[in-house]
Structure formats: C-alpha cells, structure tokens
C-alpha cells in the first residue's frame, strides 16, 4: 500500500477513534461510527493540512469513499499532465 493511502487510513482512524486495519478503499462514511457531514469537513481540512494541499469543491463533492479520497489526494500531490490544474 502506498504512503498516501496509509496516511489517510491513519488520519481517519485518529479522527474517528477506530482501527486503521478496519479501513479500506471501499470504506464509506456510513461504515464509520461518528462520520457525519461536520466530521467529514474536519477530516478534509485535516487531509489538506497533512498533505499541504487545497481541495476544490468539485474534488470534495467527488469523494464517495476512502478510495476516492486517496485518488484525489494522489492526483493533487503528484499531478500528471492529464490531472494538472
């Protein structure tokens, strides 16, 4: 597993007090106790700080699961010519 995914799993586990081993790319907010709209916003700000990035609204609304968040962060941290803003 890449370091971005590992770090995101750790951030989720820390924010919600759960075991990172129970988090996968397929995990959604409804799978994690306490993950509501407010805590989702807090998590996204935490992710932005952790990776020194800024997510735009389109990216934020595209996050349906942890895998989607990993993909967006990866594309933002390591842009390719097709994903560069």
Local confidence band at 3 (pLDDT 50, 70, 90 cut-offs) = very high
Q: Which CATH architecture has domain 3-77?
A: Orthogonal Bundle (1.10)
Contact 57, 70 (CB under 8 A): no
pLDDT tens per residue across span 14-59: 999 999 999 999 999 999 999 999 999 999 999 999 999 999 999 9
Domain range annotation of the chain: 3-77
- Checking if the pLDDT of 73 tops 90, the result is yes
* Placement of tokens 């990172």 in the chain: 20
User: What is the structure's pLDDT at 23?
Assistant: 97
Q: CA 16, 17, 18, 24 torsion: positive or negative? A: positive
Contact 32, 16 (CB under 8 A): yes
Contact 78, 84 (CB under 8 A): no
> How many angstroms separate the CA atoms of 48 and 50, rounded?
6
């Amino acid at each position: 597993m890449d370091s971005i995914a590992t770090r995101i799993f750790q951030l989720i586990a820390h924010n919600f007090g759960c075991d990172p081993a129970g988090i996968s790319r397929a995990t959604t907010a409804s799978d994690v106790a306490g993950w509501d709209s407010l805590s989702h916003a807090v998590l996204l700000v935490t992710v932005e700080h952790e990776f020194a990035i800024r997510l735009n609204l389109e990216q934020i609304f595209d996050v349906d699961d942890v895998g989607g968040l990993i993909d967006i962060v990866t594309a933002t941290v390591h842009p390719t010519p097709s994903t560069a803003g």
